[in-house]
Chains A and B, each alone.
Chain A
Amino acid sequence: MLSFIARRLLYMVPTLVLISIVAFAIIQLPPGDFLTTFIARMSAQGEAIDQAQIDSLRERYGLDEPIYVQYFKWIGGIVTDLDFGQSFEWKRSVADLVWDRLPLTVLLAGATLTLTWILAFPIGIYSAVKQYSIGDYLATTIGYLGLAIPNFMIALILLYIGFRYFGQSVGGLFSPEYQDAAWNLGKVLDLLSHIWIPLIVLGTAGTAGLIRILRANLLDELRKPYVVAARARGVPERRLLVRYPLRVAMNPFISTIGWVLPALVGGEVIVAKVLSLPTTGPLMLSALTSQDMYLAGSIIMIISVLTVVGTLISDIALAWLDPRVRLRRH
């Protein structure tokens, strides 16, 4: 087990390096270096440009030096003291900005994942055990629809229904009066009363996908000879199901931590935009539109790193649960 973890950790290193290179490339992609953009924006706003400040920035990011020196300066700053650079749009450090929004993003992703599991698990089992029953057809239909309807459509429709029939605006995660308040019981309750809409919207696609996978896996497993043999020996149906087939078919639930996270983060960008949630998605989007590249690149990198870590956790959990994964030679 330890060697498995060690190997996985080792595999993570090149991935992380590649991610940082991609993020850096995204920062560098727009024409001109960011200082020219910065200067242009400052003079457009009629602000005085402090030459000393510009020189220090130029020195800080090594803009006169070759591109790989710039990369190492940038990544060095991140690794040594979490300096992700400056956001010119917000005139704050990127780390501060992201830190403001990251906890809610992670909370939302975690809650969505939990909801997805809670919903998909019983439904998936039911539709596999009772294949071709009305419930199964219903679940399959909902599954198809959940995959085919873009997340933001669901969000817009829910918003429309909320607006039209309940006369409330359902965007955001907090009511106006709690927006800037410190955390207390009232704010938590307020959060709970708002969070269900993004949860439903974000959870549908994932739930639909999981139901399909669990159903298919469990069906394959239930047809295997060992199940027939166990049934022939008189093992009660319920125990027969839970004992082995379910455990095997459960694997996708564990590995979802890995692939649901990227999907969630992606879906979250759009849904958060529609529902105006205070998460990292809209921040990244506005950064990309205004070419605030340090902010955009850093968010892409942080989210990607979180995803890689999530994948690692799910792989370890999977190896712990399933000896076949643990002992497979690579």
Chain B
Amino acid sequence: MQASIPPPVRDVPESAADTAGPGGAAATTYTAKQSTLVWRAFKKHRLAMAGVAVTIAFYVVALFAEFLAPYSASRFDAESTFAPPQLPQIVDISDDGWDWGLHVNGYTSSMDQETYAQTYEIDESTKIPLRFFAKGESYEFWGLFETNIHLIGPADPDQPMYLLGTDGNGRDLLSRIIHATRVSMSIGLVGVTMTFVLGVVLGGISGYVGGKTDLVIQRLVEFFMSIPTLPLWLGLAAALPDQWGPLRRYFAITVILAIIGWTSLARETRGKFMSLREEEFVTSAHLDGNSQPRVIFRHILPSFTSHLIASLSLSIPAMILAETALSFLGMGLQAPVVSWGVLLQDAQDIRTVATAAWLLLPGLAVVAAVLALNFVGDGLRDAADPYKR
């Protein structure tokens, strides 16, 4: 979606593109590019605009994960396992008078006499001052330079600051969610790229060539649509060798997700190609001596790119959900890689959830990201459809 600036015309009527059709080539007709029209319709969709903002925020978090997260994803603190979330406070009124300054309360630990399990509780009497741009663990920022500045952190790096609590190994949940954002949000993009290539190429061939090729590809699509997705994903994911490194596994998982995700896109592309093939502008492009690829890429594809973009943006959230489900079941990405699904693995049984309900928080990130992307996709679809405008 390019944010092109509307051309310098006074309020172009919504039907500008229609009147600029084959018949109305008069010089007085206002014209606006398709992308401009789509953008204008999209801007009216308030939910979609909110979705765009949230989505951008998520990708910013993904880009600057090391800086935004107080700790690294693997740092653990055996001294505080299952520590509850701390509430950051700006003013301390426990003593007489108002004591300003961002801080959190510390923890007290107590041991269960029967099970010897340590439990941590918020201790209102201690105070841990926080600081923006605090010094913490050093990390390499984008592989460019090394720094140890984090957006927020305790003034004294040895004191605990777990804004969203810790997991069973004493790892900071907030940091892990932030680091997981990178994997979870990018898997959608990578997967969608593959889906796009497979779907558009196969769907395009099917719709444009027709005949026997079409029949074969359509049966293939129907086949993939008829098998229950998750069992197939699981079966394929279970077959990945254990010794594969995290990166290879990551790509293997996206390929597996894309193998099944391309079908609906292929169907849509085919339908569009079939109807457009019969249009007069395609025939005349042929008669004008355009080569086959040129007709496809210059004349047919551009007439439904906006539609394609809309369906693509709707399949990103589906990919994210799929990865979450796979990893949740332990078949997707594996530690030390962190994704939201991997984090949710910790919250699998009710006993853990009952003692540490904050472990469900990564799910909130999933819901927010998926909702935002869905809104964007819906808005795009409505904006790209000239009949809905």
Residues of A within 8 A of B (CB): 11, 14-15, 18-19, 22, 26, 29-31, 144-145, 147-150, 152-153, 156-157, 159-160, 163-164, 169, 171, 258-259, 261-263, 265-267, 269-270, 273-274, 284-285, 288-289, 291, 296-297, 299-300, 303-304, 307-308, 311
Cβ proximity bits B162-180 to A, threshold 8 Å, 1 near / 0 not: 0000000000000000000
Q: Once the chains bind, are A150 and B226 in contact (CB under 8 Å)? A: no
Q: Do residues A159 and B329 form an inter-chain contact, with CB atoms below 8 A?
A: no
B residues 202-260 touching A (CB-CB < 8 Å): 219, 222-223, 225-232, 234-236, 238-239, 241
Cα A145 to Cα B239 in complex, Å, equals 33
A304's contact among B227, B317, B321, B370, by CB below 8 Å, is which? B227
Across the interface, which residues of B come within 8 angstroms of A296, CB to CB?
235, 238
> Residues of B contacting A274 with CB < 8 Å?
348-349
Distance, CA A273 to CA B327, complexed state (A): 13
Report how far A291 CA is from B236 CA in the complex, Å.
Answer: 12
A262 touches B227 (CB 8 A): yes
In the assembled complex, 8 residue pairs joining A and B whose CB atoms fall closer than 8 Å, in A order, are A26-B235, A26-B239, A156-B353, A156-B360, A160-B354, A163-B354, A273-B329, A303-B231
Does B31 make an interface contact (CB < 8 A)? no
| B321/A262 in contact, CB under 8 A | no
Apart from the given pairs A150-B321, A262-B228, 14 other A-B contacts in the complex at a CB distance below 8 Å? A15-B223, A26-B239, A29-B239, A150-B325, A159-B353, A163-B350, A164-B354, A266-B229, A267-B230, A269-B230, A289-B330, A299-B231, A300-B231, A308-B226
B367 adjacent to chain A (CB < 8 Å): yes
* Residue on A nearest B238 in the bound complex, by CB: A288
Indicate if B104 sits at the interface (CB-CB under 8 A): no
- Closest Cβ of chain B: how far from A298's Cβ, in Å? 11
* CB of B369 to closest CB in A, whole Å: 9
- Give the complex CA separation of A152 and B350 in angstroms: 12
Q: Which of B229, B235, B328, B375 has the most CB of A within 10 A?
A: B235
Contact residues of B: prevailing secondary structure: helix
**Cβ of B230 and Cβ of A270 under 8 Å apart?**
yes
Q: Does B363 contact A (CB under 8 A)?
A: yes
Once the chains bind, are A169 and B350 in contact (CB under 8 Å)?
Answer: yes
Q: Which residues in B have their C-beta under 8 angstroms from that of A152?
A: 325, 328, 344
Instruction: Note all chain B residues with C-beta closer than 8 A to A18.
Output: 223
Q: In the bound complex, how far is the Cα of B240 from the Cα of A26, in angstroms? A: 11
Contact A270 B325 (CB under 8 A): yes
Knowing A31-B241, A147-B374 are in contact, say whether A153-B363 is a contact too (CB < 8 A): yes
In the assembled complex, the Cα of A11 lies from the Cα of B230 at a distance in Å of 24
Distance A163 CA – B356 CA, assembled complex (angstroms): 13
B17 within 8 A of A: no
Question: B366 near A: Cβ within 8 Å?
Answer: yes
B184 within 8 A of A: no
Q: 5 tightest CB-CB pairs across the interface, nearest first?
A: A266-B230, A29-B239, A262-B228, A26-B235, A288-B238
A148's contact among B330, B348, B371, by CB below 8 Å, is which? B371
B367 contacts A153, CB within 8 Å?
A: yes
Residues of B within 8 Å of A303, CB to CB, are: 228, 231
Do A270 and B329 touch (CB < 8 A)? Answer: yes
Do the beta carbons of B238 and A262 come within 8 Å of each other?
no
Q: How far is the CB of A2 from chain B (nearest CB, A)?
A: 22
Q: Are B347 and A156 in contact (CB under 8 A)?
A: yes
In angstroms, Cα B232 to Cα A207, docked, is 24
Q: Contacts A26-B236, A159-B353 hold; do A265 and B230 have CB atoms under 8 A apart?
A: yes
Inter-chain contact A289/B226, CB cutoff 8 Å:
no
Residues of chain B in range 305-364 having any CB-CB distance to chain A below 8 Å: 317, 321, 324-325, 328-331, 344, 347-350, 353-354, 357, 360, 363
Q: Considering the chains assembled together, what is the distance between the CA atoms of A152 and B324 in angstroms? A: 10
A258 to B228, CA, bound (A): 10
Quick one: closest B residue to A15, CB to CB?
B223
> Which of B350, B363, B366 sits near A171, CB closer than 8 Å?
B350
**CA separation between A265 and B347, bound complex, in Å?**
22
Q: Known A18-B223, A285-B329, A307-B226; judge A153-B238 contact (CB<8 A).
A: no
Please name the residue on chain B nearest to A154 by beta carbon: B363
Task: Compute how far the CA of A156 lies from the CA of B328 in the bound complex, rounded to whole angstroms.
Answer: 12
The 8 Å CB contact of B228, one of A26, A157, A285, A304, is A304
Instruction: List B contacts of A31 (CB < 8 A).
Output: 241
